[in-house]
Each structure stands twice: as structure tokens, then as C-alpha cells.
Chains A and B, each alone.
Chain A
Amino acid sequence: MDLSAINPVLLIASLMVAATPLLLAAIGELVVEKSGVLNLGVEGMMITGAIAGFAAAVESGSPLAGFVVAAVAGAALSLLFAALTQVALANQVASGLALTLFGLGLSALLGQRYVGVKPPQMGRIDIPVLSDLPVVGPILFAHDVILYFGIALTGAVWAVLKFTRAGLVLRAVGENHEAAHALGYKVVRIRTLAILFGGACAGMGGAYISLIRVPQWTEGMTAGIGWIALALVVFASWKPWRALLGAYLFGGVTVVQLNLQAAGVAIPVEYLAMSPYLITILVLVILSADKSSAPASLGRSFHASR
């Protein structure tokens, strides 16, 4: 065992990388839940994004194209969820599960040809001077562009929800869909847009895993990150910046346990690998007491009757 082999600067830098897929998916789901919809299909949309993005990047040679395709694929899958829950008024829990089961199968099917393939590398931002600074450089100024995009997206979602009319309408729909309908807002349309946004974010999060974090394609490689993202939204009390904090926390746990595995700590590998899931449960337990900030219409179907 050699704990000194763990470099704290690299640890923080890789923590940010590990956190990014989680952050992207959680921010997307946060918007979906703010509109009053519970989409449990995050895992399915992520894995679909992971393979779609991977395939597109390999075929086109451009990782950025991969991310665009991943976003589209995630959104396309979420459109199925929107059709089920917003048009066919199906139970949101069951529909989310269906999305995940379907996504896992679909990705495995699409991914057969890509097992063992190396994807094109995503370039890192390299700012002269800044990127070369000790400690601060590798942590703040030497990442890929998607990582910064994730942080920017968090800020954008926060600002839109807090300061704009679109954000106010979204929150209103999630709070009380009957009232929003009575005032003339198109509940189904607004929710569908939110679901699509969530799907695109989850798709990109998935592609981040297959293109940057790992980077390669293996079946079921999201390994529950989509579900952790769902827990993260609860952890964040539906507040974007707290989602960022939570993502870094979980990212930290993942990276530390991987580093401990590599360092050969006496704890068996399997028990270290359990830790992110156990910590998710622990966090859920601690934070579940307060549900007051949850959108009041969360998970309820809306049908304009009369």
C-alpha cells in the first residue's frame, strides 16, 4: 500500500472529470423535476447517449460531433418518455423504468461493433501561462471544453430559473399544473420541452463517460450513475449550485476509492467499489427528512379535463 502515490492535485482534477457526467445528468433532471415530472429513465438516456456519442465520434472522428449526437439521442429517447407520460398519461415511475430497460438493451445492441474501439481524443483547453501554473493550472485551466460547459450550464440553469420569466413559468407548472393551465400556460408543451432538455443533458453526460472519462465502450458502463444523478437532485434540494457541489462530492468519493484501489489498500476491491452506492444511500437518508422544496406537482399526471 502506498498512499503517497496519490497526488492531491491530480485527485482534484480527476474528481472534476468524474463529477461531470453526474452533473450534466443531474442538471437536466433538475429542470425536468422543476417542471413537475419525475423521469426515472436517466440511466437509460445516459447509456444511449454514451453509445450514440461514442459511435458518432468514432465514425466522424470528431468528439464534439459525438456530444451533439449524444444530446440528440438522449432527447430522442426522452421524447418516448414524454409521449408516454404527457400524451398517453402513463405512470411516470413505470415509464421511467421502461426507458431505462429499453435504453440498456438498445445501447447493447448498437454497441456491439464498438467494443474495444478507441475513440478520438477530446482536446484539452491549453491556455498559455494559466494552464502551466502549479496546482491551480491542472485543476482549473487544463480540462476539456465539456467540463466547462457543465459548469456554465449549471450557472445558466440557475439564472434562468431564478431571474427569467421562462424560469418562473417552469416553476409554476411544476408547482401547480391546474393553476398554470387556468392561467393559460401550456402545461404539456412546457413539460415536454423540459423532458427533452433533460434527455439531451443525460445523453451528453453518458457520452462524457464513454468519450472522456473512460474512454471506451463497454455494455452497461454507466453503472448506476444515472440513478445517482436522480439521488443528487434530491440531495441538491432542486438547487443547481448544490447539484454541482453534490456532483463534486460524489465524484470525489469515486476518485478516492479508485485511487485507494490502485494504491492497494487492505480493503477488498469490491467493498471499495460499493462505496459510492452506499454513500448515496447515506446521503438520501440524511436529506430525506426535508421534502419541502420539492415541486408540489412532482410525479402527477396532468389531463386538462374541462
Chain B
Amino acid sequence: MSTSALLTLDGLTKAYPGVVANDKVSFVIGTGEVHALLGENGAGKSTLVKMIYGLVKPDSGQMTLRGQPYEPAEPRQARADGIAMVFQHFSLFDALNVAENIALGMETPPPMRDLAARIRDVSEAYGLPLDPYRTVGALSAGERQRVEIIRCLLQDPKLLIMDEPTSVLTPQEVEILFQTLRKLKSEGTSILYISHKLEEIRALCDQATILRLGRNVGACIPAETSARDMAELMVGTALKTPERSDRTFGAVALAITDLSVPAPSAFGTALRGLQLSVRRGEILGVGGVAGNGQDELLSVLSGEVTTARDAVMFDGQPIGHMGPTARRALGVLTAPEERLGHAAAPDMSLTENALLTGSVREGLETRGFLKWGVARSFAETIIKAFDVRTPGPENAARSLSGGNLQKFVIGREVLQRPEVLVVNQPTWGVDAAAAAAIRQALLDLAAGGAAVICISQDLDELMEISDNFAALNEGTLSVPRPTAALTVEEIGLMMGGAHGMEVAHV
């Protein structure tokens, strides 16, 4: 392991109205070191790397790169200084091809034909094969990440920043990525690895810096620290694992038989031959890498997309043709992944958002006329029962933090006493305490006799709460199996294994 410093951060501070995103953060990334940046959602990891990448200017503090002061005014300059970044979201252009996408991330790209050849060379060398002329929108999540990584590698970076790279990968794909990263490290490239997945960090990283609420709260050598200790540093308190009481399963509440739905848009996923059933008292976990049909499955269950009558059955009654309102009347409730804009209207008040799904079961209307008073007290009930931090129900949904809004959205469905509840990514982007509360609510709901389908990309979450596990892969669903008997290897294979990726030629 190298000891010479590549990048030194000294007292970096960045504040936004109402929140200090980074408060005097200092640490050193050594040459050829894999450095983990660890922290919960909202701990300030993203802001910190944006400062390193020149997207955000620090209010105060200095950075030193190879002994020289480093103040990138824009990403272009950061790239010129040998810093490259693989984003978690938002940096690929669906309608453009791989080579065009890569050219956009380079300062002086060679002519397209030469670039394509170089993409082929580099991608082969690092075991990440890619066709430069394919349209990015048609690629799988794992392949899209390869585009980003190769975009970085073509610039021969000294420091590679990776923001939550494994959230879109199957366990097998993660192993391939790690081999690629180890190869880079052996060539002397430093890697800043951002994650909240502790076991991955223990397997890969040399050093770790832990952020909490914008502050550097500690450092450790991951290989020598237990995951539990790191978690407690990250969260600040001892973690409480949800209580899971023994449940008895009742009759089948919801069943899907042989359901196929064409893709809703050019870059959407078609559902193919779906089969599933969930009993009362059961939590069925649906795993899978993002973009394999999660949204589509939810909209088929919520009634936003209607299907043949008996493709979806509730208590033996066909509901495939019913819209969302009719299904809610029966007790089939859903909570989509995207909070702002799908589960809730950002600019509307919490009262209005309570009305969004609650009008039927909570009696918030009579013959079309709204009962604002009742709606308001329903919103207040949700706020109270789920500990939603907000001054009151008249506040706009967008004024809430991610975790609080998610509690509101889940609470809104849970409090309507569902017979079946389907949630997608219930704890995505939510802090640990809120996540634990949401998981507990789902467990309690199942214990009370409801059937729950939890679609999630967080395998740990599914292992923790679900009784049976199935995985979505390119629009097909694997046969559900009891969670308790599954190994990580088996789960990975259910999710599609390595998706035909080759192992790096190390």
C-alpha cells in the first residue's frame, strides 16, 4: 500500500440554506489507495465529492492535489487534473450511443472511429466488453455503469470517484467490478469509493472515512473493523433490528397468473410471463437490479396499467381490468418508488396529498364533494402515527426531507388498513431510523393479516423482512423461494447472475 498523499482535503465546508452539508471535513487519499467514504443518506457524501469534482464550490477549506493547491472551477478542470467520476444517477444520455456518451465526458475526444476502437480496447482490457455503437437507452443497468467507468478510464485518471456503484449490480457483477477496481489500484490509481454497504467496503477498501451529518466522525481500516462498529459510527447510535414475530400464513390474497405487458416506453421494460401469489400474513420480497421491471410491476398492481381481467386476482376475484380507485376500494394499496411526482404531488399540501389515495377508504368525499376537514385530520393522523417531522399538514410535500416524506407516503397506505400492500423501494434514500420504522410498519402489517409485496433493490432489507424471495430480471420473475434458506450466491443467480459479463483478465 502506498503512503504518499494524492489528494488532501482540509477543513472543507459547504452550507445550503437551512443545512450545513459539510462541516470542516478533512482527510487524505493516498496514491494507489482505495478509500471508502461512508455515511448515511444525507450525511454529506454527495456534496463532498461534488466539491472534489468541481461541481460545487466550497465555502471554505482547501484541497491539495499532489502537493499543489487544487481549486477546480468546473468538472472540466477536475478532469484535466486526472480526477474522474462515475455517477450514481443522471449522467448518461439515453438517445445517444456509447461512443457519443463517452465523447461528451472527454476534453478532446479523438474522431469517432478512433474513439470506438479505443473503447473496444480498454473495455476488453478491463473485462468490461461494450459495443461503442449501441444506444445507451437499450443497455442494462450494469452495462450503463460500464459506459461510465470506461469514460473515466479513457482519461487515464489518477483518482476515480465511484458513487454507490454497486446499487445497480447483482452480487456476481459486483465481484467483477471489484476485480476491475483492484486491477486499477495495482496500476497506481486511487479510488474514492462511496457506499453505505459495509461488507463491500470491508472486502475492497484500504481506508475509510465516516461522515455523519456533514462532519467527519472517524476513520478506520475496514479490514480490521467489524461491520457493526462501522455502522454505529455511521448512524451514531446502536442499531435496533426490527422485531420479527412468527407469522402464520392465511389464504392467497393476491395472485398474478401468466401476465405479459408490453414496455410502456422506448426505454421501459416489458413484463413477460409473470406468476406470483402472496398469502395473508406473508411478505414477499421482490429483488432485482434497477430497471428490470420494478416500476412496471408496481403499475400493474396499482391499476395504473390495466390488464386482462383475470391476470390479477384479489381474493379469487378478477381485478386486472380495474383502475387504481376501484382497487383501493377493495383494499389493494400501493406505494410507488418515486416519492415526488408519483406517490405525492410536490407542491401540494400534506392534506391534499392525503386525499390523493385516501379519498375512497377514508371517506374523504361524498358524491364527488370533498371533505377537507376529514382529509386534514387524516393527514394529521399519519403525521402523528409515523412521526413525520413537519410543522403541520398545510405544508407542501416538497418541504419535507426524503425520509419524512417516505414515512408519510407509507403511513398513508398502512393506515388505510390494506388487505394487500405493494411497496417499491420503501426505504430508498431514507435515513436508518426512518428505514427501521418503515420496515417495522410493514412487518406489523403482515402480522395483522395483510399480504405485503416489497419490491426493493436493497437485498439486506429483503433478507431482513421477507418470508419468500423472488427476483425480477429483464421483465421476468423467478419462482419465489423461502428467504431463510437462500445464500447470497443463489440470490445473485436469481437476479440474472453476471448478465453474461466476463470476469476481468487480471
A–B proximity contact (CB within 8 A): yes
Chain A residues within 8 Å of B, Cβ to Cβ = 165, 168-169, 171-172, 175-176, 178-180, 182-185, 292, 295-296, 306
18 A-B residue pairings within 8 Å (CB atoms): A165-B103, A172-B93, A172-B96, A176-B92, A178-B90, A179-B91, A180-B93, A180-B104, A182-B90, A183-B91, A183-B105, A184-B55, A184-B75, A184-B76, A184-B79, A296-B94, A296-B95, A306-B56
Which secondary structure characterizes the binding site on chain B? loop
Number of interface residues of B (CB under 8 A): 26
Tell me, rounded to whole Å, the shortest Cβ–Cβ distance linking B489 to chain A.
35
Separation of A87 and B111 alpha carbons in the complex (Å): 35
Interface residue B16 (Cβ < 8 Å from any Cβ of A): yes
Interface string of B100-126 (1 = CB under 8 A from A): 100111000100000000000000000
Tell me, rounded to whole Å, the shortest Cβ–Cβ distance linking A22 to chain B.
27
Tell me, rounded to whole Å, the shortest Cβ–Cβ distance linking B16 to chain A.
7
Tell me, rounded to whole Å, the shortest Cβ–Cβ distance linking A304 to chain B.
9
Tell me, rounded to whole Å, the shortest Cβ–Cβ distance linking A302 to chain B.
12
Interface residue B74 (Cβ < 8 Å from any Cβ of A): yes
Determine the chain A residues whose CB is within 8 A of the CB of B94 once the complex forms. Answer: 175-176, 296
Interface contact A168-B100, CB-CB below 8 Å: yes
Interface residue B129 (Cβ < 8 Å from any Cβ of A): no
Interface residue B70 (Cβ < 8 Å from any Cβ of A): no
Interface contact B92-A179, CB-CB below 8 Å: yes
What are the 8 tightest A-B residue pairs by CB atom distance, in nearest-first order? A184-B75, A178-B90, A175-B93, A179-B91, A182-B91, A184-B74, A184-B76, A179-B90
Determine the chain B residues whose CB is within 8 A of the CB of A183 once the complex forms. Answer: 75, 91, 104-105
Separation of A171 and B103 alpha carbons in the complex (Å): 13
Tell me, rounded to whole Å, the shortest Cβ–Cβ distance linking A305 to chain B.
9
Interface contact A175-B95, CB-CB below 8 Å: yes
Determine the chain A residues whose CB is within 8 A of the CB of B55 once the complex forms. Answer: 182, 184
Determine the chain A residues whose CB is within 8 A of the CB of B93 once the complex forms. Answer: 171-172, 175-176, 179-180
Separation of A168 and B100 alpha carbons in the complex (Å): 7
Determine the chain A residues whose CB is within 8 A of the CB of B266 once the complex forms. Answer: 292
Interface residue B349 (Cβ < 8 Å from any Cβ of A): no
Separation of A123 and B379 alpha carbons in the complex (Å): 73
Given known contacts A165-B109, A172-B104, A292-B266, A182 and B95 CB-to-CB distance under 8 angstroms: no
Determine the chain B residues whose CB is within 8 A of the CB of A175 once the complex forms. Answer: 93-96
Interface residue B334 (Cβ < 8 Å from any Cβ of A): no
Determine the chain A residues whose CB is within 8 A of the CB of B54 once the complex forms. Answer: 184
Interface residues of B in 56-93 (CB under 8 A from A): 56, 74-76, 79, 87, 89-93
Tell me, rounded to whole Å, the shortest Cβ–Cβ distance linking B138 to chain A.
12
Separation of A171 and B109 alpha carbons in the complex (Å): 17
Task: Considering the complex, give the chain A residue whose CB is closest to the CB of B90.
Answer: A178
Task: Considering the complex, give the chain A residue whose CB is closest to the CB of B105.
Answer: A183
Tell me, rounded to whole Å, the shortest Cβ–Cβ distance linking A168 to chain B.
6
Given known contacts A169-B104, A292-B266, A182 and B96 CB-to-CB distance under 8 angstroms: no
Given known contacts A176-B90, A183-B104, A306 and B75 CB-to-CB distance under 8 angstroms: no
Most buried by B among A169, A185, A295, A306: A306
Tell me, rounded to whole Å, the shortest Cβ–Cβ distance linking B338 to chain A.
15
Tell me, rounded to whole Å, the shortest Cβ–Cβ distance linking B59 to chain A.
14
Determine the chain A residues whose CB is within 8 A of the CB of B75 once the complex forms. Answer: 182-184
Q: Which of B16, B103, B104 is the one whose CB lies under 8 Å from A306?
A: B16
Separation of A179 and B87 alpha carbons in the complex (Å): 9
Most buried by B among A169, A180, A184, A306: A184
Interface contact A182-B87, CB-CB below 8 Å: yes
Interface residue B47 (Cβ < 8 Å from any Cβ of A): yes
Given contacts A165-B109, A184-B79, A292-B266, 7 further A-B contacts (CB under 8 A): A168-B104, A169-B104, A172-B96, A175-B95, A179-B91, A184-B55, A306-B16
Determine the chain B residues whose CB is within 8 A of the CB of A296 once the complex forms. Answer: 94-95
Tell me, rounded to whole Å, the shortest Cβ–Cβ distance linking A200 to chain B.
26
Separation of A168 and B104 alpha carbons in the complex (Å): 8
Tell me, rounded to whole Å, the shortest Cβ–Cβ distance linking B157 to chain A.
15
Determine the chain A residues whose CB is within 8 A of the CB of B95 once the complex forms. Answer: 171, 175, 295-296
Separation of A185 and B105 alpha carbons in the complex (Å): 10
Separation of A176 and B91 alpha carbons in the complex (Å): 8
Determine the chain B residues whose CB is within 8 A of the CB of A172 once the complex forms. Answer: 93, 96, 100, 104
Tell me, rounded to whole Å, the shortest Cβ–Cβ distance linking A10 to chain B.
43
Task: Considering the complex, give the chain B residue whose CB is closest to the CB of A179.
Answer: B91
Determine the chain B residues whose CB is within 8 A of the CB of A180 once the complex forms. Answer: 93, 104
Separation of A169 and B95 alpha carbons in the complex (Å): 13
Tell me, rounded to whole Å, the shortest Cβ–Cβ distance linking B73 to chain A.
10
Determine the chain B residues whose CB is within 8 A of the CB of A176 once the complex forms. Answer: 90, 92-94
Separation of A169 and B16 alpha carbons in the complex (Å): 30
Determine the chain B residues whose CB is within 8 A of the CB of A165 once the complex forms. Answer: 103, 109
